[in-house]
Chains A and B, each alone.
Chain A
């Protein structure tokens, strides 16, 4: 292995096409070890991914591809499950599970239920955390 040490190439840079999410080896701060308390909607997003995968609409590879394509700004401005639900939606539209017209109409229906729908659906779970 000694011979290889002399000719180690630098890790590919972003200018060479290294993508924003491919962070392995970059400097990083300390790891924050803490338990996460998930909101009801976040658990639903997680369950939605399991359902989509088990029904064969798309795989975790499609989820990852959409997350990566959302870019670094989304990584900094959206929460983990906000990014997931956006990536799931992207894949479902691409898979033809629903059209944007259907999605637009359904979002209007949900909006019409009012802002307290989440609390009404599960008062004890939605009450404590955000």
Chain B
């Protein structure tokens, strides 16, 4: 599970629903790798409206600056980690 060579790559959905979501816009559509799985938490997209919130997995995803900002990245190999709910993530096939 900790083998870096087997890093699990995911793409963040590029959804733009007009409501309370925790996924920052600058990460939508970006590809990163799963840093760790954090367990389940009440879905904030339901809790925010006072609704019963289903448990949803929260995942810490690690992105390279170059994979977020492209050629504009000042330091392309800088890493940023963000915690994103699992329903915003889809698996990305390995290319190597």
| Interface, chain A (partner B; CB < 8 A) | 1, 3-5, 8-9, 11-12, 16-19, 22, 24-25, 58-59, 61-62, 64-65, 68, 91, 94-95
B45-74 vs A, Cβ < 8 Å mask (1 yes, 0 no) = 001111001000000000010111111000
CA distance A80 to B69 in the complex (A): 30
A8 and B47 in contact, given A17-B16, A18-B16, A68-B20 (Cβ under 8 angstroms) = no
17 contacts between A and B (CB under 8 A): A5-B67, A5-B71, A8-B30, A9-B29, A11-B26, A12-B29, A17-B16, A17-B18, A19-B25, A25-B25, A25-B69, A58-B50, A59-B42, A61-B53, A62-B49, A64-B48, A65-B49
Q: Are B67 and A18 in contact (CB under 8 A)?
A: no
- Check if B36 is an interface residue, CB within 8 A of chain A: no
A95 and B50 in contact, given A24-B24, A24-B25, A61-B44 (Cβ under 8 angstroms) = yes
- For A58, list chain B residues within 8 Å (CB): 50
Q: Which residue of A lies closest to B26 (CB)?
A: A25
CA distance A8 to B53 in the complex (A): 33
The size bracket of the interface on B is 20 to 34
- For A12, list chain B residues within 8 Å (CB): 14, 16, 25, 28-29
Q: Are A8 and B25 in contact (CB under 8 A)?
A: no
Residue among A3, A4, A16, A91 with most chain B CB within 10 A:
A4
CA distance A22 to B25 in the complex (A): 7
Q: Which residue of A lies closest to B30 (CB)?
A: A8
- Check if B10 is an interface residue, CB within 8 A of chain A: no
Interface residues of B in 1-52 (CB under 8 A from A): 14, 16-20, 24-31, 42, 44, 47-50
- For A65, list chain B residues within 8 Å (CB): 19-20, 48-49
Q: A9-B29, A12-B25 are in contact. List 12 more A-B contacts (CB 8 A).
A: A1-B66, A5-B71, A8-B30, A8-B68, A8-B69, A17-B16, A22-B26, A25-B24, A25-B25, A65-B20, A91-B50, A94-B50
